[in-house]
Amino acid sequence: MSANQETSSPSAIGDCAQPASRGEGDLARVHGSSALILQVVRNARDLIAILDTEGRHIYASPSYGPLLGDPAELVGSDSLNDVLPEDRERVREIFRDTVRTGAGHRTEYRLMARNGTVRVIETDSSPIRDAESRVASIVVVGRDVTEERSAAARLDAALRRQKALAEFSLFALRESGQARVIERAVALVAEVLEVDFSTALELEPDGKALRVVAGYNWPQHCLGARISASADTQSGYALELYRRSRAKTPEAPQPVAIEDLPADGRFVNTFRVRELGVVSTVCAVIPAAGRPFGTLTADSRMRRRFGSVEIEFMQAVANVLSVAVERCRAHADVREGEARFRSLAALSSDWYWEQDAELRFSSVSAEFFRKSGVQREGILGKCRWELPGASPAGGSWDPHRAVLLARLPFRDFECARAGTDGTMRYQSVNGEPVFDAEGRFTGYRGTARDITDRHRAEQELRARTEGDRVLIELGLLGLREQNADTLLERAVQIVARTLEVELVKVLELLPDGSGLRLVAGVGWKLGAVGHAVVDAGLDSQAGYTIR
């Protein structure tokens, strides 16, 4: 029966429709239908019920059986008995309005099934009128939409997690303060997973203890506290699993999730269980290329089972946190190195040098030759711009030569020169003009320092920052792009641009394992993508890699 359709009540049921059970006789008297109608109702997957004006069952279709038991036993009972108390009065008022006004309604409510599960039911109600057009009963047609609502809720939660993770990744990319990144991570975990507590613990250098470095809703007096890193604690146990896996890359084993800590028994004497009443927990290792940074934990006072997608979210946050911490440490190392360099620059130098009035090197201390491996004859008697393989940081000697011709002092002039082994060495040079007693210019003298390590550290930081940016770009692309072919095409373009290479390819292993098909690429001949196949054996690089 369609929604909101009024029905008049005939007086009898056809001769060929003999009711087979309690309630069907009432259905026949109310509906006056034929055997065909009864057959349809008996086999309908929808939940079909006829209620009197007090809400009691006159009839319930067989489809009610899996939910509420024998439909015949429902006849005469209050149809709202199985509706959850939180929804019951609202549904009762809707029913009364249908009886009072004769207007049907669509509504949704939760009921308790006989197996103890809560089901979500969507129903349409329609009045059945008697010969005098008064509402005599109500027909209700419903369907179980639990799975639909659950799927919609899961999808919504997944989208919220993806958005939150993307926003956190961008924040971590921009933020240089390690403490702020970690604090944002624990707040994010607590908000998205809807838990009571979230903490980040840092493994101390000796590997024997962990320190609480950030906590959401965590007791203030416990921030900074140290706990054992042994397997007697959940974080210690997670780290032990990490060590056993011998993780050498930023990948960690599955986070440790425990639904019932008191029943599990292993960690019942920990502070979070004993003092805070934590029942359910999940703990992810924050990985690193060497040893792990520590752990990220989410705790709930209510018993709950953390689903696989929630556990994956925890590890994803931990992985982003790992990259961010490493990046923050690199920034801190560079800042510390620069500060140390500036402090020492005024006190020391690597070597000194002198030039004559023609700006040719007349003297260079032995330290330069010892460090560079260059012979004296390769330096003495030549101007700086005449040295083989030498080049200024700006690309042109003209600005530096202009300073020298103006007889001005200079500081921190940077230049590069290929060493004897072919590697580039970088120098920072200070100089001042020299005049004799009569004020005649006689040359320059000054000091120089080898800044190769600093220069390489800056290059590495720039490369790492660019790598982080590319990883975030690829991650966001994966979240936004639903078409696999477009995603792969964009990904190879990003890789080619970032690594500055001419050829990039993605190979897909054929179902039979005999070969690998080129499914995306940059720089390949027209028509090769999607068709070219390489051998999957050990003779090919790709085959050797996957074997």
Residue 258 belongs to a domain with what CATH number? 3.30.450.40
CB neighbourhood size of 363 (10 A): 14
Give the model's pLDDT for residue 105: 92
Provide the CATH number for the domain around residue 392.
3.30.450.20
Three-state SS for 461-484 is HHHHHHHHHHHHHHHHHHHHCCCH
Classify residue 443: in a domain, yes or no. yes
- 7 — pLDDT class (breaks 50, 70, 90): very low
Mean pLDDT, range 70-99, rounded to an integer:
93
Q: At which residue do the structure tokens 């920990």 appear?
A: 270
CA distances in angstroms from 244 to 238, 241, 252, 317, 518, listed in the order given: 10, 5, 11, 22, 37
Question: Do 238 and 370 share a domain, yes or no?
Answer: no
Q: Among the listed ranges 4-18, 83-97, 517-531, which one has the minimum average pLDDT value?
A: 4-18
Q: Which residues contact 161 (CB under 8 A, 6 or more apart)?
A: 192, 309, 313
Question: Do 172 and 281 share a domain, yes or no?
Answer: yes
Question: Do 277 and 369 share a domain, yes or no?
Answer: no
Classify residue 432: in a domain, yes or no. yes
- Whether pLDDT at 249 is above 60: no
Give the model's pLDDT for residue 454: 83
How far is it, in rounded angstroms, from Cα 259 to Cα 288? 27
Classify residue 60: in a domain, yes or no. yes
At 297 the three-state DSSP class reads strand
Give the model's pLDDT for residue 39: 61
How far is it, in rounded angstroms, from Cα 349 to Cα 411? 13
Tell which residue, 456, 444, 448, has the closest CA to residue 367: 448
Tell which residue, 319, 194, 300, has the closest CA to residue 252: 319
Q: Which residues contact 212 (CB under 8 A, 6 or more apart)?
A: 199, 200, 201, 218, 222, 223, 224, 225, 226, 227
Beta bridge partners of 215: 199
Q: Among the listed ranges 180-194, 269-283, 526-540, which one has the minimum average pLDDT value?
A: 526-540
Q: Among the listed ranges 251-265, 379-393, 447-461, which one has the minimum average pLDDT value?
A: 447-461
How far is it, in rounded angstroms, from Cα 315 to Cα 308? 11
Domain that holds residue 234: 153-334
Give the model's pLDDT for residue 341: 45
Q: Among the listed ranges 39-43, 140-144, 247-251, 330-334, which one has the minimum average pLDDT value?
A: 247-251
Question: Do 134 and 157 share a domain, yes or no?
Answer: no
At 377 the three-state DSSP class reads helix
The alpha carbon torsion through 454, 460, 465, 470 (nearest 10 deg) reads: 160
Number of domains in the chain: 4
Classify residue 189: in a domain, yes or no. yes
Q: What is the pTM of this model?
A: 0.47
Q: Among the listed ranges 56-70, 88-102, 121-135, 348-362, which one has the minimum average pLDDT value?
A: 348-362
Question: Do 328 and 356 share a domain, yes or no?
Answer: no
Classify residue 418: in a domain, yes or no. yes
Q: At which residue do the structure tokens 């200070």 appear?
A: 430
Domain boundary among 127, 144, 161: 144
- Whether pLDDT at 209 is above 70: yes
Question: Do 135 and 180 share a domain, yes or no?
Answer: no
Question: Do 157 and 125 share a domain, yes or no?
Answer: no
- 41 — pLDDT class (breaks 50, 70, 90): low
Mean pLDDT, range 480-494, rounded to an integer:
79
Q: Among the listed ranges 50-64, 175-189, 233-247, 274-288, which one has the minimum average pLDDT value?
A: 233-247
- 481 — pLDDT class (breaks 50, 70, 90): low
Question: Do 124 and 165 share a domain, yes or no?
Answer: no
Beta bridge partners of 353: 364, 446
- Strands 390-392, 361-364: pairing is unpaired
